Amino acid sequence: MLIVDKRKGDTMPIHDVIPTPSVGLNRALGGGLNTGATHLFWGTPSVGKTTMCFRIMAQAQKMGYRPVIVDSESSYSDVYAAKCGLDITDVVVIQSTIVEDIMKSLIGYLTDDKEKHIFLFDSLSNIVKEEFYDKPEGGKAMGLSARSQGYFLQKLVNYLHKERNIMLFVAHQTVDLSGMFAVTKAKMGNVVHHNMHNVVKLFLSMSKGEMEREANNMITSQRAVWTIEKTKQIPTIGATGYYYVLPQEGQIDQRRELIDIAIEMDIIKRKGAWYTYEESKWNGMGAIELTDKQLKQLQKQITE
């Protein structure tokens, strides 16, 4: 519980802003994700939701936040986490699907007033109340998954603190067949949606022109389109953009994204097949080569 009495000189806690690995998404969110808030990523399978979250956690770790990962899918890998930039020697991993067990394990980290934490729940869709396992009739109860998620999130939100923690959630994609057309949506209930500060949809393009593969058919680069479905940070609901995920490297191709945005904003000038930036000139987008200094300069121009 937080009580701020302004007459007594109390001040509101000040949140940090943790950048995502996407320049465009940061721009749309006012710099990144606010601490003391809940942020959900959902979308197409294999679009890089976990990669996105691990990269955000790695950035938060550099800012003094300790990563706590609730791995309800038993898919956590030290190798991949390290590839995404996490210091795996200082990570807490909890593997369970039961709300009550997870809360017991988390409470010490949620109430810690000395150390800062970033929590990842991957995925929220797998977490259910204990009755699912204990009572046969409970497992068949209509809406149990949504009720479990709502109950769990309501408990978690009580421990949010702008200066001490931030919570990331991954949700599966499902299909709503109730209307005339099939509509993709996040597998979550209304309570979850209500309690999220940001909801970001990630969509994977399967087009050959937007997915690159090695000779053995392994994907080396894939285009992910992001859409802000809800945000309480700045009025950018409906904003959309894209970046390229490098799944074998556990990275998002910031260089390629910066170039695309700079061309879109006319910072890198295009005339026919020619592209120019300051004194540099290239024939064709694929020929564009920028120095580290130019990339940093571009990032500053785009985000300011």
Distances (CA, A) of 141 to 98, 137, 148, 228: 16, 6, 11, 32
Q: What is the pLDDT of residue 137?
A: 62
- Domain at 253-304, CATH class: alpha beta
Reduced to 3 states (helix: H, G, I; strand: E, B; else coil), residue 117 is: strand
Phi, psi of 52 (to 5 degrees): -55, -50
Provide the total of helices (H) and of strands (E) in the chain, helices listed first.
Answer: 10, 17
Q: Which amino acid is at 100?
A: E
Please state the length of the chain: 304
* Residue range(s) in the chain whose domain bears CATH number 3.30.250.10: 253-304
* Residue range(s) in the chain whose domain bears CATH number 3.40.50.300: 13-252
Give the mean pLDDT of 187-208.
88
Q: What is the pLDDT of residues 239-254, one digit of tens each?
A: 999 999 998 899 999 9
Contact 165, 117 (CB under 8 A): yes
Q: What is the mean pLDDT of the chain?
A: 91
From the number of C-beta atoms within 10 Å of its C-beta (0-12, 13-18, 19+), residue 205 rates as: middle
Lowest mean pLDDT, pick from 182-191, 208-217, 266-275: 208-217
Strand pairing category for 198-204 and 38-43 = parallel
Hey, what CATH topology would domain 13-252 get? Rossmann fold (3.40.50)
Q: What is the pLDDT of residues 115-140, one digit of tens each?
A: 999 999 999 989 999 888 876 665 55
C-alpha 122, offset from chain centre? 11
